[in-house]
Amino acid sequence: MAGKPPQNDPVQDAPQVAGPKHAAAGLPAIGHTLRIAQQQMGVKRTALTLLRVNQKDGFDCPGCAWPEPEHRHTAEFCENGAKAVAEEATLRRVTPDFFAAHPVADLATRSGYWLGQQGRLTHPMYLAEGADRYEAVSWERAFDIVAEELTGLASPDEALFYTSGRTSNEAAFLYQLFAREFGTNNLPDCSNMCHESSGSALNETIGVGKGSVLLDDLYRSDLIIVAGQNPGTNHPRMLSALEKAKANGAKIITVNPLPEAGMERFKNPQTPQGMFKGAALTDLFLQIRIGGDQALFRLLNKLILDTEGAVDEAFVGEHTHGYEEFAEAARAADWDETLTATGLTRAQIDEALSMVLASKRTIVCWAMGLTQHKHSVPTIREVVNFLLLRGNIGRPGAGVCPVRGHSNVQGDRTMGIFERPAPAFLDALEKEFGFAPPRGHGYDVVRAIRAMRDDKAKVFFAMGGNFVSASPDTEVTEAAMRRARLTVHVSTKLNRSHAVTGARALILPTLGRTERDLQGGGEQFVTVEDSMGMVHASRGRLEPASGHLLSEPAIVCRLARRVLGAESRTPWEEFEKDYATVRDRIARVVPGFDDFNTRVADPAGFALPHAPRDERRFPTATGKANFTAAPVEYPKLPAGRLLLQTLRSHDQYNTTIYGLDDRYRGIKNGRRVVLVNPDDARELGLADGSYTDLVSEWKDGVERRAAGFRVVHYPTARGCAAAYYPETNVLVPLDATADTSNTPASKSVVVRLEQSTTD
């Protein structure tokens, strides 16, 4: 079922293809934004809402985690931020009548696009054991049901508490506190599928699992390398920052198997000249083979080592550890092997080297193109080696810049949403709240799926997100979810996870970022942390989508009171009334949040401390920044196979599908497409416009098939293919994960393309 197109969907998936564009944003983006926004919100609400995005007294854009500049435009949002807002602020509603008309079996045949288009959830809904459809339920009854199942477990570790990265700091802090008072560290989150590899690599090498640059550093940089990221679609406001950096003299190298329109040319919709002509952003495009990045950076490191005076010896001597071992490994880097791994030419790498050597301040930005491979952690460590060699960490205009996804995914981790919490964090919780938090490691996303599959976990609770569609190995994941006793989703919108349920299921509808949050203690705001460690307030203004919604903090507080009862000494009632009291506790538990309530009153927010960035101090095990020397890895393809990456179109937010177009790649009205290099396609006998099945090959011998994809001849690197997530998650084996971080390797799936089995 999961590998086939949805059966009961009025939207026909009939892709039309026009070929890739060479510029992003500009006037078409504005027209597109307003059209989508007005369809969902009407004209007046569109204007009122969009003007509040990312303003100092407004709400944080629920789109990506890119930071807000100090001087904000009246319209500080982008096309895709506007779509995210419209999706939430829509006037469409999913009421109890909707659920009466659509049994769960019917919902399970619909596409994610159709489900999302139905509108905002309005009532708590309950699917009783054996029932065929959800029915409205009171909040009290809903909490009773969760409490019944949680207290009936043989061990707290049979419960899973998932988080998606939109959850505010306050809600996240309360949620992990509840899970730990209940007795488990089973806090898998979307980060496990996202930047976990970055966190793993950075923690070990520089001692902090976060990026070390602020916006100002980008503006001051000489060279910015953007590897494995498509900002034109996924972080559009980053293009303005790159444009400004270029105006200040920076050069940009783009490393990507695909030529992405945004990185080629950016037409800034906020400046008159930009709207029409636009700025070329990329100076050097390295069209790398999927998974070739570690080899590329390793060779660059060798070439730096071989260049007289190129290494920052003072920095290396004073601040780093492991240099000799690393240098020995790097000197052994081999040109031929690197050219094979990367598909690049010698001239391209030489040109990159000369740009690297000419730069005194270098930044490397990356996203999912680096994090979702088997060897992602050593790849990112090699990026760190590269920056350390020339002293590019802890210096203005230089550093590591992992560009985060969800708007508060970084904050959620800071608040303790982590299945492997640091002992110091647990000590602080224990001291503040007077209970003994569990110390053993919990399950991450992949382990949580296995635990449900193997009947070791029986209650699945999700604070946002769409677990079954976002996770790998869709059929395995869905079967695992169906084994649970109870599945609970705190959600704003309908999605597939509501249709693939345990024996009992609940949907708990919640407020979104755009909405007014009124509690006993008056109107509340929440806080978020962006990709660069800046914390600021977010305040919704719209009337809530329904009078029956509870905020995420309120849901956690009420659930905690119901489940933990008198045993808990935590003042859950007070927390629910007044989020400032939660922030007081955060200030005492989480480093860097001293005087939280006072400092967050500054509309610009505040920066969290970052030892490597601020003081060139590296809080690692060795007390220094660690060079590492892992063997170089890259995917090796059997003959007749392609390496498939699963990525985002321009009309989606993860599993939320806004529309069926991918404008910059020239695809319209369809998502079941596979982009293949024309030379590979010819060799494999795949005509443009023909239909094919994607069959993934993995050592477990299980055949995973996604049926009925239109072949698109597209200028991707040789041997590589690309298709959209989540339709292709069915192809990603549960066990195919990155070493160390355990992130699903959803950017390197070995596939063969077979004559289509669907007509």
Ligand X SMILES: Nc1nc2c(c(=O)[nH]1)N[C@H]1C(S)=C(S)[C@@H](COP(=O)(O)OP(=O)(O)OC[C@H]3O[C@@H](n4cnc5c(=O)[nH]c(N)nc54)[C@H](O)[C@@H]3O)O[C@H]1N2
The residues of the shown chain that bind Mo ion, judged by CB under 5 A, are 194, 405
Hey, what are 558's tokens?
């009420």
| Residue 654 engages ligand X in binding (rule: CB under 6 A) | yes
Q: How far is the CB of 684 from ligand X (least distance, A)?
A: 20
Residue 465 contacts ligand X per CB under 6 A = yes
| Cβ closest to Mo ion, residue 405 vs residue 416 | 405
Report the residue from 288, 526, 550, 745 that binds ligand X according to the rule CB under 6 A.
Answer: 288
- The yes or no reply on residue 577 touching ligand X (CB under 6 A) is no
> Which element (helix H / strand E) includes 33?
helix 27-41
Give the pairing type, strands 223-227 and 284-286: unpaired
**Interface map 300-329 toward ligand X (x if CB under 6 A):** ------------------------------
Is 470:727 a contact under the CB 8 Å cutoff?
no
Find which of ligand X, Mo ion, none residue 80 binds, CB within 5 to 8 Å per kind.
ligand X
CA distances from 699 to 135, 296, 485, 719 (A): 44, 27, 31, 20
DSSP notation for 422-437: -HHHHHHHHHHH-S--
CB 557 within 8 A of CB 572: yes
Cβ atoms 4, 705 nearer than 8 A: no
Q: At what angle do helices 169-182 and 579-589 cross, to 10 degrees?
A: 70
Q: Is 490 in the site for ligand X (CB under 6 A)?
A: yes
Residue 647 touches which member of Mo ion, ligand X, none, C-beta under 5-8 Å by kind:
ligand X
470 in contact with ligand X (CB under 6 A): yes
Say how many residues touch ligand X, by CB under 6 A.
60
Which of 355, 647, 676, 694 touches ligand X by CB under 6 A? Answer: 647
Instruction: Choose which of 205, 229, 240, 477 interacts with ligand X (CB under 6 A).
Output: 229
**Cβ atoms of 220 and 402 closer than 8 Å:** no
122 interface partner picked from ligand X, Mo ion, none, CB below 5 to 8 A per type: none
Considering the rule CB under 6 A, would residue 526 count as an interface residue with ligand X? no
Among 137, 355, 463, 542, indicate the residue that binds ligand X (CB under 6 A): 463
| Contact status: 444 vs ligand X (CB under 6 A) | no
673 binds ligand X (CB under 6 A): no
Contact region with ligand X (CB under 6 A), list: 3-11, 344-352, 367-375, 692-700? 367-375
Q: Which is nearer to ligand X, 220 or 493 (CB)?
A: 493
Cα(255)–Cα(235) distance, rounded to whole angstroms?
Answer: 16
- 743 interface partner picked from Mo ion, ligand X, none, CB below 5 to 8 A per type: none
Residue with tokens 């100076």: 283
Q: Which stretch binds ligand X (CB under 6 A): 324-332, 383-391, 424-432, 725-733?
A: 725-733
In angstroms, give the least distance from the CB of 92 to ligand X. Answer: 14
Nearer to Mo ion, 65 or 121 (CB): 65
* In the complex, least distance from residue 367 CB atom to Mo ion, rounded to whole angstroms: 8
741: left (phi over 0), alpha (psi -120 to 50) or beta: alpha
Residue 605 makes contact with ligand X by CB under 6 A: no
Considering only 271-279, 286-294, 322-330, 622-630, which stretch makes contact with ligand X by CB under 6 A? Answer: 286-294
* CA triple 634-469-702, angle to 5 deg: 55
**Does residue 211 touch ligand X according to CB under 6 A?**
no
The residue among 353 and 549 lying less far from ligand X, judged by its C-beta, is 549
Contact status, residue 225 vs residue 363, Cβ threshold 8 Å:
yes
Question: DSSP assignment of 327-380, as one string?
Answer: HHHHHT--HHHHHHHH---HHHHHHHHHHHHH-SSEEEEE-HHHHSSTTHHHHH
Does 258 participate in binding ligand X (rule CB under 6 A)? yes
CB of 706 vs ligand X, minimal distance in Å: 11
Q: How far is the CB of 471 from ligand X (least distance, A)?
A: 7
Q: Which residues contact 422 (CB under 8 A, 6 or more apart)?
A: none
Question: Can you tell me the distance from the alpha carbon of 477 to that of 448, in angstroms, rounded to the nearest whole number?
Answer: 10
Q: Which of 198, 652, 737, 741 binds ligand X (CB under 6 A)?
A: 652
Which one of ligand X, Mo ion, none is in contact with 529 (Cβ closer than 5 to 8 A by kind)? Answer: none
> 106-117 in b/e burial notation, b at 16+ Cβ within 10 A?
ebbebbbbbbbb
H-helix segments, 439-551: 445-453, 467-470, 474-483
List residues bridging with 486 in a β-sheet: 459, 504
Instruction: Give the one residue of 134, 266, 618, 653 binding ligand X; rule: CB under 6 A.
Output: 653
The token pair at 336 is 């031929």
One symbol per residue from 132 to 171: x for binding ligand X (CB under 6 A), - otherwise; what is it? --------------------------------xxx-----
- Determine the distance from the C-alpha atom of residue 752 to the mean position of all C-alpha atoms in its chain, rounded to a whole number: 28
Of residues 393, 746, 751, 753, which one binds ligand X by CB under 6 A? 746
Task: Select the residue interacting with ligand X from 512, 612, 708, 719 (CB under 6 A).
Answer: 512
Terminal C-alpha separation, the chain: 15
Are 260 and 689 spatial neighbours (Cβ–Cβ below 8 Å)? no
- Whole-number Å distance between alpha carbons of 137 and 606: 41
CB of 67 to Mo ion, least distance (A): 16
Using the rule CB under 6 A, is 664 a contact of ligand X? no
Binding site for ligand X (CB under 6 A): 63-64, 80, 164-166, 190, 193-194, 227-230, 233-235, 255-258, 260, 288, 290-291, 293, 367-369, 372, 405-406, 463-467, 470, 490-493, 495, 510, 512-513, 552, 645-648, 652-656, 725, 729, 732, 746-747
